[in-house]
Structure 1
Amino acid sequence: MEKVYDSSDYSACDALDAWAATTADAVMPTLFRLVGTDTFHGCLQTSALGAVQVSVMAYHSFHCVRTAKLIRRADPECFQLAFMRSGRHVLEQSGNRTALRAGEMAVFDSSRPFETWADGESLLVQVPHTLLGLPVSRVYSLVSRPLPAAAGMGRLLGDFLVGVEREGTARTEQDALRLATVCLDLVTAVLAHHLERESEVPAGSRRRVLFLRVTAYIQRRLGDPGLSVESVAAAHHISARSLHRLFQQHGMSVGAWIRSQRMEHCRRELADPWRRHEPVAAIAARWGLLRPADFTRAFRTRYGVTPSDYREQQTHARAADARPVPEAGDAPGT
């Protein structure tokens, strides 16, 4: 992500004003005052996915107000979903006041006045009203209510946003637009779930979100040797045939995707120097591959080398990288 503000770049007397100016441009104009401290500490990173923006914020004890006057001056006409990571957060909007804890999220609207009291860290996704797959008037009923973010659809959206955060800015414009579509689908699905309006989500969005739910489910259970097409389909209340069709729309089969994910996890652990003394068979078993001979054959087919030889290659490569490079003019043996 792109760092757009760091309080350490400013003097103590300028830090809060600089934060207000930066967030006005990056998010929306609001008024700030410090609470219980004379010095502001904060950091802001942003990542644009087309018209969707993801921001990571860390801040220290402030009271924030968005007034009707500020809304008239500049309004991005967006819903914000804030995921609370740490600290204390109180949000008040449209007559609702809620105290949020880490592991919860809340929706608020840039087009209506609000107040917040905040100290800690949050992850924020900003979505234009017009791009949501739900009527805006329905979403208002969720404003300033604590919503779970550690399980279900909230967790799925949170994991996606963390992935965007970790990825940084290494993406093309087309990648950003594809990620924006995924993000919009997930935000719409989360809001529809809490509104009990899942049937109103466009069919294309429902299919894309189902695929994300299924792949996240599989990832969490790759170590289960009993993981199968039938068990995955049953967990999502669809037929095995529907599951196959869902994966075919993404150009792959269910079984092949499961095998590829298991093999990739094994490959990473074989390259991990902290696991160099762990038996190859134990690594394979951890990822649901219980037959060593079958694993060796599949690994060689996929990567062109046996698991043991791959581990040896990685060990030699690390040793070569660690070897000091002779300076120009040094003679061998001197």
Structure 2
Amino acid sequence: MTAEDEQTAQREGPMSLAAAPQNHQSNPDDASIVFSKSERMFPNMSFDFQDTGEDRSLTERMIADHQITHLLMPHVIADADAKRATAHDLQNRFKFVWQLSGTHHFEDRHQSLTLSPGEMMIVSVGRTYRLEMGENCEALLLFFDPASFPAWQEIVHRDMSKVIDASGAVAASAAAASALLHHARGGRADALAVRSVVELALSSLERDDEAPLRLPLSLQRARLLIGRNIGDATYGPDALAKDLGVCRRSLYSLFGRLGLSPAAFIKRQRLEHARNEILSDRNHQISLSTIALGNGFPDSSSFSHAFKAVYGVSPSALRSPRKLI
């Protein structure tokens, strides 16, 4: 930025969310390339590109298990299908949508709303809905799994498919996601940074600070039972259903209302417990193999693979003294 540009920026005040990404705007792609990218990046959706002659582009980056995408997609209709999402194992995924310019119209069987520049929305990838992207539609997306953020899980499901008004946290999280999209190097720091972006975006949701955030009572009981059997590798959905006094079908229905599966919930509880053990063992007195076996994993290799898939870093990297968590 030149001195003249800096003076102009100071006169105009802070950059808005809508204006912020313009410095990083992707170069327009050929229409066939955009269509091919769209089908690959969003396999749960079908697209109708209106022939307006406008520039369109898609840019993505994978960081750990999070996909960040910048899209410039004016005059496009996209239909998401729940069955296609399940077929591609996307039923538990959610995405942040930060609207940068233009409008994004969202519609499902329950509601219809429009996302304007500066606003944010959380959308369940596993649902059926329609998106109508209007003139100059530019947005930033970040995909995540709420089960990786248990403290926020209930609020994510409560506030999905709602317009989140512009705020400092919304703007800051969008700017951070954009920075990772364009400058991430794929290291351990990026994996931690993208989790911080998710938490920053989630902090913009309204929380009732008068009362602690709580999962439904039945899921609290499930978490307690899993904790009591954390070292039993055979403890799975059938055993959990029996201990809760419900049939297998009711158990899956209970978790399904929060976009979860019992097996995934059990696995996340094991990983969370193991992660807390690693962080608490500051002197490295407990081997990672012992921690793995003690939390129901058959061996350290499968534990490390599952751990890195969720947290973006391996267990050994987490306990490194150079790592800030």
TM-score by length of 2: 0.51
Aligned pair in 2 of structure 1 residues 181, 100: CA closer, same or farther (>3 Å)? Answer: closer
Work out which of the residue numbers 70, 86, 92 in structure 1 matches 2:84: 70
Match runs of 1:48-197 below 5 Å: 48-76=62-90, 77-93=92-108, 95-119=110-134, 120-134=137-151, 136-149=153-166, 151-167=167-183, 169=184, 171-190=185-204, 193-196=205-208
In structure 2, give the amino acid aligned to 1:72.
T
2: CA distance, partners of 1:156 / 1:38? 33
2: CA distance, partners of 1:138 / 1:108? 13
Q: CA deviation at 1:155?
A: 2.4
Q: CA deviation at 1:130?
A: 2.0
2: CA distance, partners of 1:200 / 1:41? 44
Aligned pair in 2 of structure 1 residues 139, 30: CA closer, same or farther (>3 Å)? Answer: same
Q: Secondary structure at the match of 1:196?
A: coil
Does the aligned pair in 1 maintain the 2:44–2:82 contact within 8 Å?
no
1: CA distance, partners of 2:96 / 2:131? 14
Q: Secondary structure at the match of 2:127?
A: coil
2: CA distance, partners of 1:104 / 1:68? 25
* Corresponding position of 1:227: none
Q: CA deviation at 1:166?
A: 4.3
Aligned pair in 2 of structure 1 residues 19, 73: CA closer, same or farther (>3 Å)? Answer: farther
* Larger RCO (alpha carbons 8 Å, 6+ apart): 2
* Corresponding position of 1:31: 46
Does the aligned pair in 1 maintain the 2:173–2:198 contact within 8 Å?
no
Aligned pair in 2 of structure 1 residues 23, 134: CA closer, same or farther (>3 Å)? Answer: farther
Identity of aligned residues (%): 14
In structure 2, give the amino acid aligned to 1:194.
E
1: CA distance, partners of 2:119 / 2:79? 21
* Corresponding position of 1:207: none
**2:24 is equivalent to residue 9 of structure 1:** no
Larger Rg belongs to: 1
Q: Secondary structure at the match of 1:144?
A: coil
Higher strand share: 1
Aligned pair in 2 of structure 1 residues 132, 96: CA closer, same or farther (>3 Å)? Answer: farther
Aligned pair in 2 of structure 1 residues 188, 85: CA closer, same or farther (>3 Å)? Answer: closer
In structure 2, give the amino acid aligned to 1:132.
F
In structure 2, give the amino acid aligned to 1:9.
D
Q: Secondary structure at the match of 2:122?
A: strand
Residues 251-278 of structure 1 show CA distances to partners (whole Å, capped at 9, x for unaligned) of 9xxxxxxxxxxxxxxxxxxxxxxxxxxx
Work out which of the residue numbers 5, 9, 19 in structure 1 matches 2:34: 19
Does the aligned pair in 1 maintain the 2:180–2:194 contact within 8 Å?
no
Q: CA deviation at 1:94?
A: 5.5
Q: Which runs of 5+ in 2 are unaligned?
A: 1-23, 215-271, 276-322
Work out which of the residue numbers 58, 61, 69 in structure 2 matches 1:47: 61
Does the aligned pair in 1 maintain the 2:152–2:202 contact within 8 Å?
no
Aligned pair in 2 of structure 1 residues 184, 87: CA closer, same or farther (>3 Å)? Answer: closer
Q: CA deviation at 1:61?
A: 0.3
Does the aligned pair in 2 maintain the 1:57–1:123 contact within 8 Å?
yes
In structure 1, give the amino acid aligned to 2:75.
S
RMSD: 3.2
Aligned pair in 2 of structure 1 residues 181, 95: CA closer, same or farther (>3 Å)? Answer: same
* Corresponding position of 1:326: none
2: CA distance, partners of 1:101 / 1:158? 14
Aligned pair in 2 of structure 1 residues 53, 105: CA closer, same or farther (>3 Å)? Answer: same
Q: Secondary structure at the match of 1:46?
A: strand
Q: CA deviation at 1:137?
A: 4.8
Aligned pair in 2 of structure 1 residues 22, 34: CA closer, same or farther (>3 Å)? Answer: closer
Q: CA deviation at 1:114?
A: 1.1
Tell me the number of residue pairs that the alignment of Structure 1 and Structure 2 aligns.
190
Q: CA deviation at 1:21?
A: 3.7
Q: Secondary structure at the match of 1:123?
A: strand
